[in-house]
Homo-oligomer: A and B are copies of this chain.
C-alpha cells in the first residue's frame, strides 16, 4: 500500500499527458483543416480559386501549374473530385443528347478532343510534376500506347454512337508520327465503333478541322474537350462541354 499514492500519481500524470496530446491533435485537425469552419487550408483555397478560373476561361496563357498548387492539382486529379466533376459534365452532356435526334441521314455529329478528354495523360504529367511542356518526352509517352481511357467519357461516346450520331475524334497529335499509335491506343481503350480520327499537326487548328466537317455536310451537335481552345473558334457546334483539366493549358 505504500506504493499506491506515487503509482496513482504517475498514472494520472500519464493520462494527463495523453489528454493534452489528443487535445492538441484534435485542435490541429480542426483548425489546420478548418473542421469547424468550412473551407480549406489556405493554399488549397487559393488553388481552388485558380482551378475554377481555369475552368471558367478566366485564366489563360499559363505555362505551368503554379508551384504552390502542384500538390493540390495532384490531389484533385487522383482523390475523387476530378472523377466527380467528370461524371457531372457527362450527365449534362447526356441529358442534352437525349433532347437531340440524330437524323437518318447520318450527318448529325459530335466532336471529341482526344488528349485528356478520351485518353488520360495523367501518368505522364505526374512524372513531370505538372511542369512545362516537353514535346519529345510527350511523344515518347504517347508512342507507348499506354494512355488509360477516361471511363465517363467512353460512356458518353458509346451512348452517342448507340443513338446514331457520328463521333469525330479531333486531335492536335501529328497524324504522321503519332497516328497509328493513337488509333491503337483509342481502340484498346474502347473508343472504337465508328470513330473518325483526324490528327493534324498543331499548325492546323481545330476550327479548320470542324469547318471541314461542316463543309462535308455534317451538323455538329455537340463538342467535348478539355481545353477552351477545343471549344472556341469556328463551327464549335450547337453546344460545348468543358472537361476539367487543371494540368496544362493549350492556346
- A interface vs B, CB < 8 Å? 1, 4-5, 8, 11-12, 15-16, 18-19, 22-23, 25-26, 29-30, 32-33, 35-40, 44-46, 48-53, 55-60, 75, 79-81, 84-85, 87-89, 92, 240-242, 244
Contacts and interface: CB of A to CB of B under 8 A. Distances in A.
Given A4-B8, A79-B37, A85-B52, A22 B26 contact: yes
A242 B160 CA distance: 31
A52 B54 CA distance: 10
Contact of A18 (B1, B19, B26): B19
Given A19-B19, A55-B55, A84 B38 contact: no
B39 A80 contact: yes
B81 A49 contact: yes
B59 A92 contact: yes
**Which one of A32, A56, A240 has the greatest number of beta carbons of chain B within 10 Å?**
A56
Copies of this chain assembled into the complex = 2
Contact of A44 (B38, B49, B59, B60): B38
Contacts of A22: 19, 22-23, 26
Contact of A58 (B45, B58, B89): B89
Contacts of A19: 15, 18-19, 22
21 contacts: A1-B1, A4-B4, A8-B11, A8-B12, A15-B15, A15-B16, A15-B19, A22-B23, A26-B26, A29-B35, A32-B35, A35-B35, A40-B40, A45-B84, A49-B85, A52-B52, A52-B85, A53-B89, A56-B57, A58-B89, A59-B92
